[in-house]
Amino acid sequence: MSKPAIFLDRDGVINKVVMRGKKEGSPRTLSEWQWEDGVVDAVNNFKQAGYLVFIVTNQPDIARELMTQETLDNFHKKVWNTLPIDDLMFCPHDNHHNCHCRKPKPGMLLDLAKKWDINLANSYMVGDRGSDIAAGKSAGCKTVLLSRPYNQSVTADQYIKVLKDLSCLLSNNKPL
């Protein structure tokens, strides 16, 4: 029987984005890493509500040689050691690689759905960028946007301010 899942983007959802000038980006060093407020409780609530939880993240700084694979691995060890997630996938490519896994393409979501027997129609993609929402829609998921100053023009099925807002809705079995 297919299961529901919550797919979470990493940067801007699990951890805070880093501002470089006027542009938001991913942390590139361990000292730049900061958890988003309430993320541990929210993920625990998703699990208690019966959802599988996955992280799907674009990490083009690998291809751009702005971050090492070792640093990325250390970030992801931190995630695995802190959050009760079921799986984590990342795309190390940049736009010009035209791979199937880089959001806004739905490759990571579709690969996880096949691997874990996920019912995508009963699942959610949670992100802070248009590419996250586009990937979720392309995969057939409901979409949830974490409202940020840099994403006011993005259209999603649901809008929340913090991840805890979604976990409260799901744990109370309220339809989105």
Q: Give the closest residue to 48 by CA, choosing from 142, 171, 166, 144.
A: 171
Instruction: List the beta bridge partners of residue 90.
Output: 57
**Active-site residue, from 11, 61, 128, 132:** 11
**Active-site residue, from 9, 61, 128, 132:** 9
9 is catalytic: yes
Helix, strand, coil percentages in the chain from 3-state DSSP, rounded to 5: 35, 20, 40
C-beta of residue 39 within 8 angstroms of C-beta of residue 163: yes
- On the 0-12 / 13-18 / 19+ scale of CB atoms within 10 A, 112 is buried
61 is catalytic: no
Active site members:
9, 11
